[in-house]
Structure 1
Amino acid sequence: MRLTVAQALVRFLSRQYAERDGRRHRLIAATWGIFGHGNVAGIGQALLETGARDMPFFQGRNEQAMVHAAVGYARQSGRLSAHAVTTSIGPGATNLVTGAAGATINRIPVLLLPGDTFATRPADPVLQQLEVPEAGDVTVNDTLRPVSRYFDRITRPEALIPAALQAMRVLTDPVRTGAVTLALPQDVQAEAYDWPEEFFAERVWGVRRPRPDRAELAAAAAAVRGSARPLIVAGGGIRHSGAGAVLAEFAGATGIPVATTQAGKGVLPYDHPAEVGGIGHTGTATANGLAREADLVIAAGTRLTDFTTASATLFQNPAVRFLGLNLDPYDAHKLAALPLVADALEGLDELRGAVAGYRVDPAYAAAYGEGKREWERRVDAAWAATDEELPPTQAQVLGVLDSLVDASDVLVNAAGSLPGDLHKLWRARSTDQYHLEYGYSCMGYEIPAAIGVALAAPGRPVWALVGDGTYLMNPTEIVTAVQEGVPIKLVVLDNHGYASIGGLSGAVGGEGFAAAYRFRAPDGSYSGEPLPVDIAANAGSLGMAVIRAGTVRDLREALTVARSATCPTCVYVQTRTPDTVSGPPPAQAWWDVPVAETANRKEAAQAREEYDRQAAQRRRHL
């Protein structure tokens, strides 16, 4: 069959499937694209010729945002279906780097198809070519190598066949998945070749569920049976494996409490007796108290990042041991853990059988149960609004939203102070309600990711929660939501700046420097009046329906309208500073942000004293 490289690639992608547990999913369900001279005559023409039935297409506005949308879709699809993203060469391609890094860090599949400079080099240099005198084969697309799980440059038509097959293998690998990049020189995209028919046959890629090694399982069971104060730390691997129900059965049978990372929150519903909330710097007092005294930590499907471990200060029991249940041996061995290398669902299921009859002491269960109830009272206090005619605090915004949603709603967030408040306070009702991108915590993720989530879960209310700083970084995909009729619900909380970094800056001696969105004061600092930026008007100018909420009462009405809206709708609210009554509890564990070791300003000197005190608690678990 004679086709161009681009035509062959699109045809090939339309015939790839992923399968797990007997259920088949189209692997590349759609392609996002922005066209320029690097892909308009190649991939662009191929998509036009193939047609929307074989390869659905979405027109993006920003290359980074297109990757975020694809990531949102793939995560909501359980990593069993993904999107491709095509761009022109030069800036279009390099704009993919941030999104690719987020996909790879979070282990979410996305296929990147950036245009590249000429393979045949008819002129040297061409437009947007990076000249590297000592390396003629380097292009700007090489910036994607370190943030891709697989990278190849297709310099000959026949090279597409092995590269495309390798790309599909990596996209469906539950350990190695992430961003996959096939860089496509613009001349090669348009070159014709006689392709073997077998290349276009339907192909099914199985997603593995490895079972645990018998010796590792026996050692893991012995560790559980020998523990008095065990704690499960559940991460995103539980979600990706679809192991929430098995985890609930395991926790129910053993009585072992379950704390969750940002990626794992929701794998147990908030009202499950063993669920004790988020862990680490943004976690609950209950979970962190259990972590400090635990003699066995079962790290299940988590990368054990610094937020989770409180920068290696959280697990303080001198006798603490770790059990690493993870599909990736690299993660399973962290903190010198006993490894249990397996799929989370298979590993938990077999471990449950291996420890049959084991249950924690009733006094331990009663103690963490009371801690859980006490934390829920603190959540209620943070959400309470005694005067509904006042502007809401950020916590009260979450409280009003909590009162209106059910298990079908999905919340999307990534950056600012909202991840901390959500991890501490949000009551997740379903496995996929809590959609936090906190592996990369990328500002600008929320709006495009919400579109991807909504495409993967049509009919479900999808909320993008953003601060004004995040909104101003990347609002352009609002236009895409309007164009495609995707009824995302955008909630903008305006606090006139980078509130999260402002708070962190104050804690580490930075005094909030350059964190507020304000005019300059006479002394040159950004401490004047707030800037007259009208975010609500901006969202409206991009085509959204906009509702302004000035008070808690207004907010309740606005969110109710937005939830039932059939078009993209923005609720805009200016939040007020939390007082001693309403506001989330402060951090329940430390996070290592180095403070100036020497400084003339007293704020920095005082912050360094606190830093040294906290850092002294750091442990190396060997």
Structure 2
Amino acid sequence: MTIRLTVAQAVVRFLEAQHVERDGVENAFFAGCWGIFGHGNVAGVGQALLERELSGEPSHLRYHQGRNEQAMVHAAVAYARQRDRLAAMAVTASVGPGATNMITGAALATINRLPVLLLPGDTFATKAANPVLQELEDPANGDISVNDAFRPVSAYFDRVHRPEQLAPALLHAMRVLTDPAATGAVTLALPQDVQAEAWDWPDELFSRRVWHVARPVPEPAALDRAVAAIRAAKRPLVVAGGGVTYSRANDALRAFAEATGVPVAETQAGKGALAFDHPQSVGAIGATGTTAANALAAEADLVIGVGTRYSDFTTASRTVFAADDVRFVNLNVSTFDSHKLAATALVADAREGLDALAAALQGWRTDSVYTDRASRLAAEWDAIVQQAYDRDAQPLPAQSAVIGAVNQLSDPRDVVLCAAGSMPGDLHKLWRTRDRKGYHVEYGFSCMGYEIAGGLGVKMAALDESDPRDVFVMVGDGSYLMMNTELVTAVAEGIKIIVVLVQNHGFASIGALSESLGSQRFGTQYRYRTDTGIDGDRLPVDLAANAASLGADVLSVTSIDDFRTAVGQAKASTRTTVIHIETDPTIPAPDSPAWWDVPVAETSVLASTQGARTTYDEHKTHQRTHLAPPNEKKDNA
């Protein structure tokens, strides 16, 4: 039997029929489709979504109207992360700028290993009227379009020139989207004439299809090698990454830590792997890490990475794991990540791998003196956090006090969300995470503008799971100005998020970095231009008025006491609320001495740059390759 549909109609019907299953729990994979329409998709995917919405069928693919194509991808990616990659969304845009606006979101998804299906319109496959509006012409390459820019940032890319190509393209797309080791942005470019072309499709293409998300178990010999390395260690440290949460391995990690006494440090994506007050939790590691985690990392003779890809922030640009004899065991579902840092690789699902390690290590426990020291260091850091929370700076509050107020007034299951600027580093060090899904900081791409759209996606995921948790979006003025458009979408959809808008009149994070690198905060403050540069008075930008103009409720406060009151009001409200507060960007949060490798000009007439280069050269001497074979002494080259 066949059914006659356009290519676009077939795409929508196929997406509606896809389901995933893990651990016996099954659900529809696609929760909806975001879209902004133009000539490249309005009569194709747009018409198909309209037809399904008017059908009245409960299984129809729900359409969501966005205001910015990049933001739509961010919302879809945040949704997938909140659902532990077991549900996702599609995003469609028109050919040309609508499509290319999605490229940043595609890169973010692929870098963070999060599934999203992108359906950009494309130029005519028939070339009947080329060059069409917004078409890129290359005199030397007749089959190129702007959508080819998606190739390097997609986990899978295809262009459907003919209806016959659609079925294998869709099946390959689902293969990648549901593979924890390979997922990311999947791009299916759809020429606008092909979208509208009809074809007789086999019924089975639209039959219910269940994709089983596997939990790979460790290979026995690899498990033996990992266990031998752990048993030989005197100062082991777990580094928990995002893979712990995506695998829902939090209970397995807690059981492993309690049975072995091994302390657990957390990456940005892994924060919340253990509750902040668990005896084995030592908090954030790396360039934005705690003094506790980084002190233990400096002494560790074995690092057990679980679901981490070891970004430069995690390793403090390969300086934080400083012991001469340090070795690595990497438990990861991705073969690529498991072999990093010349590690003993344990390729497996995080939960299955931790369970297998715990069983094989039964009866083994690290020395109690070491375990007790880790707990003591964590307690000392927590006291520092409390001081930062309680800091009553005048005349403007410190950002750390704002973070503390949100942490103390939010419910344990509420979500804090951020992406870029100074806030992610402060949150990584200071936020006391109480729920495994309570911390959502996008730091793989650290994309300014992710915050509000991402908060919308997280809240949509929570609503789809009948989960009443609030979402606190922490955003600075720099990121807010880059992309605040989805405040309008939140209002239109009737979806409540709480946006904490911190005004510090510029790029606080890069300003501090610029100063540390000898560049004197150049180009990082929002000021009027004068004869000597952009160094005049502060701009009179009213971000509170801007947020109100977009339909949000706005509470503008000046003190921490008033801010606390505003948080209570926002919690009680049913509407999207923006809390605006000005802070002092020169008051730093407490820190550890960890380093981040950002090269400084090797020659300069500026004394500030010369001094920064001297400091940089000193730090470079501590950078490690981690290439020596296990059990061999390593040099510091």
For this structure pair, what is the TM-score category when the shorter chain's length is used for normalisation? over 0.9
CA distance, structure 1, for counterparts of residue 286 and residue 391 of structure 2: 28
Contact 1:282 1:588 in 2 (8 A): no
CA distance, structure 2, for counterparts of residue 137 and residue 313 of structure 1: 46
Q: Which runs of 4+ in 1 moved over 4 A?
A: none
CA distance, structure 1, for counterparts of residue 537 and residue 75 of structure 2: 35
RMSD: 1.0
For structure 1, the residue ranges without an aligned partner over 5 or more in a row are: none
Say which of 16, 19, 22 aligns to 1:17: 19
Contact 1:382 1:395 in 2 (8 A): yes
Q: SS in structure 1 opposite 2:527?
A: coil
Say which of 411, 416, 420 aligns to 1:415: 420
CA deviation after TM superposition for structure 1 residue 165, in Å: 0.7
**Residues 108-257 of structure 1: matches in 2 within 5 Å?**
108-257=114-263
CA distance, structure 1, for counterparts of residue 605 and residue 391 of structure 2: 42
Say which of 455, 460, 478 aligns to 2:487: 478
Say which of 4, 7, 13 aligns to 2:6: 4
Q: SS in structure 2 opposite 1:259?
A: strand
CA deviation after TM superposition for structure 1 residue 547, in Å: 0.2
Q: Does 1:531 align with 2:539?
A: yes
Contact 2:124 2:130 in 1 (8 A): no
Seen in structure 2, the aligned counterparts of structure 1 residues 481 and 530 have a Cα distance that, compared at 3 Å, is: same
The amino acid that maps onto 1:34 is: I
CA deviation after TM superposition for structure 1 residue 79, in Å: 0.2
CA distance, structure 2, for counterparts of residue 461 and residue 62 of structure 1: 24
Q: SS in structure 1 opposite 2:216?
A: coil
CA deviation after TM superposition for structure 1 residue 408, in Å: 1.7
Contact 1:106 1:440 in 2 (8 A): yes
CA deviation after TM superposition for structure 1 residue 385, in Å: 3.6
Say which of 544, 558, 563 aligns to 2:552: 544
Which residue of structure 1 lines up, in the alignment, with residue 410 of structure 2? 405
The amino acid that maps onto 1:558 is: A
Which residue of structure 2 lines up, in the alignment, with residue 564 of structure 1? 572
Q: Which moved more, 1:339-348 or 1:456-465?
A: 456-465
- Write the deviation string for residues 351-396 of structure 1: whole angstroms up to 9, x where unpaired: 0001111111111111111111110110011111447x85321000
Q: Which moved more, 1:560-569 or 1:429-438?
A: 560-569
**Residues 66-77 of structure 1: matches in 2 within 5 Å?**
66-77=72-83
Say which of 39, 42, 50 aligns to 1:40: 42
CA distance, structure 2, for counterparts of residue 478 and residue 60 of structure 1: 10
Which residue of structure 1 lines up, in the alignment, with residue 562 of structure 2? 554
Contact 2:289 2:591 in 1 (8 A): no
CA distance, structure 1, for counterparts of residue 146 and residue 310 of structure 2: 33
CA distance, structure 2, for counterparts of residue 357 and residue 527 of structure 1: 64
CA deviation after TM superposition for structure 1 residue 521, in Å: 3.8
CA deviation after TM superposition for structure 1 residue 508, in Å: 0.6
Q: Does 1:429 align with 2:434?
A: yes
The amino acid that maps onto 2:345 is: P
**Residues 327-406 of structure 1: matches in 2 within 5 Å?**
327-386=333-392, 390-406=395-411
CA distance, structure 2, for counterparts of residue 377 and residue 244 of structure 1: 25
CA deviation after TM superposition for structure 1 residue 288, in Å: 0.3
Which residue of structure 1 lines up, in the alignment, with residue 519 of structure 2? 510
CA deviation after TM superposition for structure 1 residue 528, in Å: 1.7
TM-score for both structures, normalised by structure 1: 0.98
Say which of 252, 264, 267 aligns to 1:258: 264
In percent, how many aligned pairs have the same letter?
57
CA deviation after TM superposition for structure 1 residue 576, in Å: 2.1
CA distance, structure 1, for counterparts of residue 447 and residue 48 of structure 2: 32
CA distance, structure 1, for counterparts of residue 288 and residue 474 of structure 2: 17
Contact 1:300 1:325 in 2 (8 A): yes
The amino acid that maps onto 1:603 is: S
CA distance, structure 2, for counterparts of residue 551 and residue 527 of structure 1: 27
Which residue of structure 1 lines up, in the alignment, with residue 510 of structure 2? 501
CA distance, structure 2, for counterparts of residue 351 and residue 177 of structure 1: 26
Seen in structure 2, the aligned counterparts of structure 1 residues 176 and 410 have a Cα distance that, compared at 3 Å, is: same
CA distance, structure 1, for counterparts of residue 207 and residue 560 of structure 2: 57
TM-score for both structures, normalised by structure 2: 0.96
CA distance, structure 2, for counterparts of residue 353 and residue 588 of structure 1: 37
Contact 2:508 2:585 in 1 (8 A): no
Q: Which moved more, 1:163-172 or 1:400-409?
A: 400-409
Contact 1:391 1:552 in 2 (8 A): no
Say which of 471, 479, 504 aligns to 1:462: 471
Which residue of structure 1 lines up, in the alignment, with residue 635 of structure 2? none
CA distance, structure 2, for counterparts of residue 77 and residue 135 of structure 1: 41
CA distance, structure 2, for counterparts of residue 187 and residue 202 of structure 1: 28
Contact 1:280 1:588 in 2 (8 A): no
- Write the deviation string for residues 273-295 of structure 1: whole angstroms up to 9, x where unpaired: 00000000000010000000000
Query: For this pair of structures, how many residues does the alignment match?
Result: 617
CA deviation after TM superposition for structure 1 residue 577, in Å: 4.1
Say which of 613, 618, 622 aligns to 1:608: 613
CA deviation after TM superposition for structure 1 residue 587, in Å: 4.3
- Write the deviation string for residues 567-612 of structure 1: whole angstroms up to 9, x where unpaired: 1100000012455xxx411343000000000101000000000000
The amino acid that maps onto 1:59 is: Q
Q: Does 1:307 align with 2:295?
A: no
Contact 1:284 1:588 in 2 (8 A): no
Contact 2:79 2:460 in 1 (8 A): yes
